[in-house]
Amino acid sequence: MTLKQLRYLIVIAEAGSFSAAARKAYIAQPALSRQIGMLESELEMQLLVRQHDGVDLTDAGRRLYEVARSVIQKIDSVKDELVSSRGNPRGRVSIAIPVTSSALLLPAIIRRAREKFEGIELVVRDGLSKEGGEAIELGKVDFGIVPNAEELEGVIAEPIFIERLYWVGQQAPAGDGDTITLADAATQPLVMPPRSLHLRRRIEQAAMAAGVELDVRYEQQSAYGIAGLVSSGLAATISNWPPIDAPSHAMARRIVEPEILRTVSIAHSAHKPLSFAASCIHDLVRELLVECVRNGAWKGELIERSPRGAD
């Protein structure tokens, strides 16, 4: 069994036919068939079944395809790492960011990565914090920005800043200042994400500790559903800053008495060390987050970074 044969099996499985795979792999179709025949003979099992419109994998072929994909990806990543060690970062880097900050961060991350690291293929996934946290725990992404790193298992997290939560709605129930008590915020109907999400749990913990009963009138999984109800005036919400697609005429008030705080971190799986390319993007994202906090685009208070090597 050779790496070349495994690569050919992958190409055939993904192309769906020998002819399409031969064109994609720049090899004559008879030669491609011969390589797969040699692989099947060595393993003493059939891997592919020819159909009138292409080929299908047998159960054994499907299992070998999955193993081959994993092996080839690891080998390719080693090659990229060796090239990167010469100061030219290469490879595929995947990161997760919260959907609430997607409009703020996504263009800047992609633009800066493209300018600084031409050899890095960057994939950015935006979603709910729960989805991002699970992707980090399972190593499905190289690293991610999460507000709930303390709830994750088997991750290494670097706290970046502390964010305060805001009431966002069409008409503030009291006063003209830039703050609102949690008790006053609770006098209006609220639209909130499900309790499975960290944001909802954090808000309800603060309300319970303060003896405040929240009027959660609507529950929406979709960030855009929450923004729509806020925009229509049917409900207000409690969110971080920047809030999700809040309409320009909406008001935002920082919640006090008590303040509701969350720590935003950059985290990665302890079982998946950062490659050189991922480390480069990690530092780029950290730098960008610090800039966003300093210029007020993402409201929060930076956490002082400990000197390297400090206890």
Residue 249, pLDDT score? 56
What average pLDDT does the segment 41-54 reach? 87
CB atoms within 10 A of CB 197: 18
Percent of the chain residues past pLDDT 70, beyond the cut: 90
Whether residue 69 is predicted with pLDDT greater than 70 in this model: the reply is: yes
pTM of the predicted structure, to 2 decimals? 0.67
- 3-class DSSP state of 163: strand
- Sort residue 204 into left (φ over 0), alpha (ψ -120 to 50) or beta: alpha
In whole angstroms, what is the distance from residue 114 CA to residue 287 CA?
15
What average pLDDT does the segment 216-241 reach? 87
CB atoms within 10 A of CB 245: 17
| CATH match of 91-160+264-302 with 2.40.37.10 | no
**70-74, 82-86, 194-198, 287-291: the lowest-pLDDT one:** 82-86
Residue 241, pLDDT score? 80
* For residue 307, cis peptide bond before it (omega within 30 degrees of 0): no
Same fold across 91-160+264-302 and 166-259: yes
Among candidate residues 260, 277, 283, the one with its CA nearest the CA of residue 77: 277
Residue 218, pLDDT score? 92
**119-123, 140-144, 180-184, 220-224: the lowest-pLDDT one:** 220-224
Backbone angles phi, psi at 138, to 5 degrees: -85, -5
Average pLDDT, the chain: 85
Backbone angles phi, psi at 238, to 5 degrees: -120, 125
> In whole angstroms, how far apart are CA 310 and each of 15, 155, 224, 305, 307?
53, 21, 43, 10, 6
What average pLDDT does the segment 6-24 reach? 87
The residue among 287 and 53 whose pLDDT is bigger is 287
What average pLDDT does the segment 69-88 reach? 67
Percent of the chain residues past pLDDT 90, beyond the cut: 31
Write out the DSSP string of 53-117: TEEEE-HHHHHHHHHHHHHHHHHHHHHHHHHHTTT---EEEEEEEEGGGHHHHHHHHHHHHHHH-
Whether residue 86 is predicted with pLDDT greater than 60 in this model: the reply is: no
> Which tens digit of pLDDT belongs to each residue from 245-272?
555 556 888 899 899 999 999 999 888 8
What's the gap between Cα 24 and its chain centre? 31
Q: Within 13 Å of residue 270, how many CA atoms lie on the same side as its CB? A: 7
CB 263 within 8 A of CB 189: no
| CATH match of 166-259 with 1.10.3720.10 | no
> Which tens digit of pLDDT belongs to each residue from 131-183?
788 888 888 899 999 988 888 888 999 999 999 999 998 877 765 678 899 99
Specify the CATH architecture of the domain 3-84: Orthogonal Bundle (1.10)
In whole angstroms, what is the distance from residue 129 CA to residue 135 CA?
10
**4-8, 130-134, 146-150, 212-216: the lowest-pLDDT one:** 130-134
Whether residue 106 is predicted with pLDDT greater than 80 in this model: the reply is: yes
Whether residue 310 is predicted with pLDDT greater than 60 in this model: the reply is: no
Residue 251, pLDDT score? 82
Among candidate residues 131, 10, 143, 121, the one with its CA nearest the CA of residue 65: 10
Residue 70, pLDDT score? 76
pLDDT band at 301 (very low <50, low <70, confident <90, very high): very high
The residue among 148 and 34 whose pLDDT is bigger is 34
In whole angstroms, what is the distance from residue 65 CA to residue 7 CA?
9
Residue 307, pLDDT score? 47
How do the domains of the chain map onto residue ranges? 3-84, 91-160+264-302, 166-259
